[in-house]
Each structure stands twice: as C-alpha cells, then as structure tokens.
Structure 1
Amino acid sequence: MSHIQKKIALITGASSQGEIGTAICRKLASQGINIFFTHWNSDEVWIEKFQQEILRMGVRCGAMKIDLSDANAAFIIYEEILAKLGYPSILINNAAHSTSNDYLSLDAKSLDDHYAVNMRSNFLLCVEFARRFKKSNLESGRIINMTSGQDLAPMPGELAYVATKGAISAFTRSLSQELAPLGITVNAVNPGPTDSTWMTDEIRNFLLPRFPMGRIGTPDDVARVIAFLASDEAEWITGQIIHSEGGFVRG
C-alpha cells in the first residue's frame, strides 16, 4: 500500500482511548496523513495527550469538541479544519449515536436523537466535503462511512439505531454515483462487533464463540480496512459496503 503523504483526514468520533475513531487516527497518522478529529463527552486532558501522540508521528493534528446533533455542525467543522490545517481529501464518518429502543420504548425523541447524528450530520458532512472539493485543487477524495451490519441481519431492540444506520448504506451507494465524476470514492465499512469502549466481559463471552477466528474484532482491525479504502490503491472501489467481520456468525 502506498502511503498518502501529507494529505488531511477528517475523522469524527475519536473521544477516548480504545475507540475505533482513535485507532483510525493513529493508523492514518502512521502513514503520513495529517489528522483532524472531532470528539464529544471526552476528557480534555486525554484529548491533549492524544493530540501530542499524533504530533509525535510527524504530522499535523487538530481537534474540535462539537455536538454533531447541532444542525450546523458540518459547516462549523469545515470552517475549523480549513483554518487550522487546510482542505481534507479524506472524510471518515465514524461518530454515532446509539441507545436501545424496542417497539415498546421507541418514541419521537429517540428517533430524532439518532437521526440528528447518524443521518443528518453524516450526510451533510459528505455533501459539504464534495461541494468544497470542487473548489479545491485536489485530484482525488475518499469518503468512508460506518455501518453496523444492518444489511445482513435483524438487530431487535435497536430500532432507531438500525433505521438510521441502515440509511447510511443507501446514501453511500447513491452518493458514490454522483461523486465518481469528481474523483471521489464513497464507501462504507461494517466492522462487525468490535471490542471497543462499549463491550463488557459478559458481552465478550457471549460473542466470542461466534468468531471462527477465535477472537473478537479490535479497533485496529477496523483501522486497517479504513486505511486501505483511503489509499491510492482503492481508487477503483466505490459504492461498496465492506463487511469486515472476521467471519462473524449470526443467529
């Protein structure tokens, strides 16, 4: 894989140690890519240490605390990254809102809360990326969204989450067709159950037998897939939902 020297990547949702977003930042920085990440409900001391860690890799790094449920979040983020680093050629929509809702508990607020982050902010970040890309001198761009396997099987008890995350797959496929003439690829990654900040020992013990490789996926597994899709080698891959789950067995 050729390195993408001194390009700029925007990654949402890198708020604490052990998260997928954090692993993506580290992986791309290790390839010489400048990093700008967003965070929320995070430890400011840790954020500062993490920025210093990225800077020690020899790249520039910016960060921004922002609530992605703000309708203007996408525009605020782009103004900030342009002021601090320049125009990004890589966008990774990793942040997500998730609470459990079955048919008994689903209500308008739950739907609105999920929609604001998982759909509205995601979609506006994508289209604003493309609009500004047209005005830049960049030759190629990469948009990578995150899904959670809604295309593959039901997720009972997660109605608001699956509805809004599932919409990302449809949006990704259609947007890829519109942006291909600009030289922007648009893909999505489903990493399957990943041992990040949300897993407990009980969940790990339940899931482990379903992984034929004998282990649960890690944030680093996700980051490697993202790094490939962001690379020059992936220029012919667009409109795809990549299910990188280590053979995870459902049912």
Structure 2
Amino acid sequence: MPEEASNDFMVEDTGKRPIAIVTGASRQRGIGAAVCRALAAMGVDIFFTYWAEHDQAVNGLERQGPHELLSKLRDCGVRCACLEIDQGLPEAASQIMDEVEKRRGRIINLTSGQGLGAMPGKIPYIATKGAIEAFTVTLALASSPF
C-alpha cells in the first residue's frame, strides 16, 4: 500500500524558495537521488516520488532508500516531502500536482537528449525519453495557473 506524502511543506515558508519535483528517487545511488541532493545543496526545496513495490521486486535494492534520502535532504536545510506512487497509473500526474499545488515550483525534467534522435536497439529507452519531454510540455501548459 502506498504511503501518504510526507507533509514537511505544510510549514509556512515566507522565503518562497523554488520547489523541484523529482520523479523516481528510490535509490541512494540513482540519478533521481543525485538530482535531489544537487538541488538541495543549491537551496531548492524538494518533492520527490518513488515506488517501493517496484524496488522490492528487484533483488539487492535499498529498502529504506527514500526515507534515508528524505532525512539527508532535510539535513541540507531545505524542505522536503515525498510520495510513493505508481507513475504508470493514469491519475499519477494529477496526484503529484495535487500534492504540490499550493507550493511554488517549476517543471524541470532531466533526459539524456536521446529522445531527439535514433538509437538502434534502444526503442523502449528512446520512447520513454520522448514521452517525458512531451509530457513535461503538456503538464507545464495544463498547470500554468499554478
């Protein structure tokens, strides 16, 4: 059963620091966690997602990774919250946006650029990169009132 989002953002913050939404930050040595740490070091508040059910299905992955990351990010002096969510669900993007709707933030995604060109033998990888880019542009327009 997915956990509720941590509510660290409920504390009033008059500084109005930017909030970064980072999807897929389950593993301490993963790209998502590295992005979270780099942004936190720059003073950016973080909202990250993870999906424990997926990670538990893979042998050798950290069980407490998201909670350890949450603690480390807060130690950097930034506000941090997280949400366990299966991003394969159609309502996932709406749920994530609902969790951060009252907070100021920008949509930033990190892809490798390979969604822009051919990579023989890497069809699923290229398809997901292209999907992330199209999703981000559409989400930015859909959430522009925020």
Q: Same fold (TM over 0.5)?
A: yes
- Aligned partner of residue 47 in structure 2, secondary structure: strand
Pairing 1:68-217 to 2, within 5 Å after superposition: 68-82=87-101, 86-91=102-107, 143-152=108-117, 154-169=118-133, 171=134, 175=137
CA 49–163 in structure 1, closer or farther in 2 if over 3 Å, else same = closer
Which gives a bigger RCO, structure 1 or 2 (Cα 8 Å, sep 6+)? 2
- State the secondary structure of the residue aligned to 2:93: helix
Q: Distance in 2 between matches of 1:53 and 1:166?
A: 32
How far does the alpha carbon of each residue in 1:67-101 deviate from its partner, in whole angstroms, 9 at most, with x for none? 1000000111122234xxx424122xxxxxxxxxx
1:124-175 deviation line (CA, Å, top 9, x unaligned): xxxxxxxxxxxxxxxxxxx3342442434x3222223323423555x389x4
User: Judging changes above 3 Å, is the alpha-carbon distance between structure 1 residues 49 and 160 closer, same or farther for their aligned structure 2 residues?
Assistant: closer
Match of 1:50 among 33, 55, 69: 69
Q: Tell me, in whole angstroms, the C-alpha distance in 2 between the residues paired with 1:167 and 1:78.
A: 18
Cα deviation digits, residues 38-63 of structure 1 (max 9, x gap): 01234442221111110111111111
**SS of corresponding position for 1:90:** coil
User: Larger radius of gyration, structure 1 or 2?
Assistant: 1
C-alpha contact (below 8 Å) 1:12/1:21 kept by paired residues: yes
Question: Does the 8 Å CA contact 2:17/2:104 hold for their aligned counterparts?
Answer: no
Fraction of identical pairs, as percent: 35
Tell me how far apart the structure 1 counterparts of residues 22 and 45 of structure 2 sit (CA, whole Å).
Answer: 11
Q: Which runs of 4+ in 1 moved over 6 A?
A: none
Number of residue pairs the alignment of both structures matches: 121
